[in-house]
Structure 1
């Protein structure tokens, strides 16, 4: 059985560590598919990926310690290590930890911002939009609906989402099936639906920068 980012504390993708110039990306499991797609498309054979469980999105207070451990466990085997997280609700703690460890990390408040572009996302100033990426569209029930208890208490919907006016699907791929699924999530939440094709955004730019350093 192939491991997924939710199966274990750390998932390995590509463990051939022989040769010089090895680079390790320690990433949120929610970004695994996109990073692997970019790795393949760009021929980054020297880049390995280790993913922390995507469910840490729901427990940001655990992210910093998990990243610290992953860096400590692996940095001696690589020429460069970088962290593919944004702040992700850590209140600056992750950035401080990365600075302390001497490793670089993605810029931005969260992945929604760097998919759209941090500057553009900030300029929009959207406080009443609920965001989904390709990953979250696929995993909506596991990461949104059930953790909030909406499968058991649908009456809580208004309490959680009463201040939102739309669901914005930031599409990394042009997939009609995913768009239809995202639309169904918006309908279930009673929100207006908007799709924006962002592609990989600043994830692609920063991965390219990190991947060529070693």
Structure 2
């Protein structure tokens, strides 16, 4: 995330902070809210493009390059990603670099809480977060070609039954939009308020490290 965008969210980048959070761009708004609310001015945020989730094989190398780029500027760097479809390669990269990341298969897991998410064992749910509700067309409809070929809906979503909206905030407009997303995909709708889950707990522990 560039300095201008950080300032848009009310954070003044200094480049001199002791701790760097290297994160997925899909988590920027939530992380900045956590930092601002807690007043952790010693933590900076830099984000990689959220669109990397459409080609997760590129995430480990992007993280590696970013860590190497900023290692001399920060005393500590933490990676605000879960595995996110990298097949364990991101964890291997972080272990090699000596940096910590969030445990879990993806952000849907750490928003709800890894233990709770795994206990559910849901196989037919399609998940959206606040970010993905806002960016539904850009990150779901258009990349899958459903705007041009709606007949592909059954190929992509035929085995899903429910769209689960993991809400990080209580926003009536986002909830209404999430319901519309479910209707567009022909899925039942369920809303779960998660807040920031394991991500907030991880950042809090890193802030005190």
Q: TM-score, normalised by structure 2?
A: 0.94
Q: Residue 37 in 1 paired to residue 33 in 2?
A: yes
Runs of 5+ consecutive residues of structure 1 not aligned to the other structure: 6-12
Contact preservation (8 Å) 2:23, 2:46: yes
Q: Residue 187 in 1 paired to residue 183 in 2?
A: yes
Structure 2 distance, partners of 1:52, 1:3, is 15
| Displacement over 4 Å in runs of 4+ | 1-5
Corresponding residue for residue 154 of structure 2? 158
Using the TM superposition, give the Cα deviation of residue 108 of structure 1 relative to its aligned residue in structure 2, in angstroms. 0.5
Corresponding residue for residue 108 of structure 1? 104
| Deviations 1:9-62, CA, capped at 9 Å, x for gaps | xxxx643134xx610000000000000000000000000000000001111000
Corresponding residue for residue 80 of structure 1? 76
Please, which of 94, 112, 117 is the counterpart of residue 98 of structure 1? 94
Contact preservation (8 Å) 2:168, 2:193: yes
User: What is the aligned residue count?
Assistant: 204
- How much is the aligned-residue C-alpha RMSD, in angstroms? 1.6
Structure 2 distance, partners of 1:50, 1:112, is 21
Q: TM-score, normalised by structure 1?
A: 0.92
Q: How does 1:124-135 map to 2 (within 5 A)?
A: 124-135=120-131
Q: How does 1:35-74 map to 2 (within 5 A)?
A: 35-74=31-70
Q: Secondary structure at the match of 2:159?
A: coil
Q: Secondary structure at the match of 1:115?
A: helix
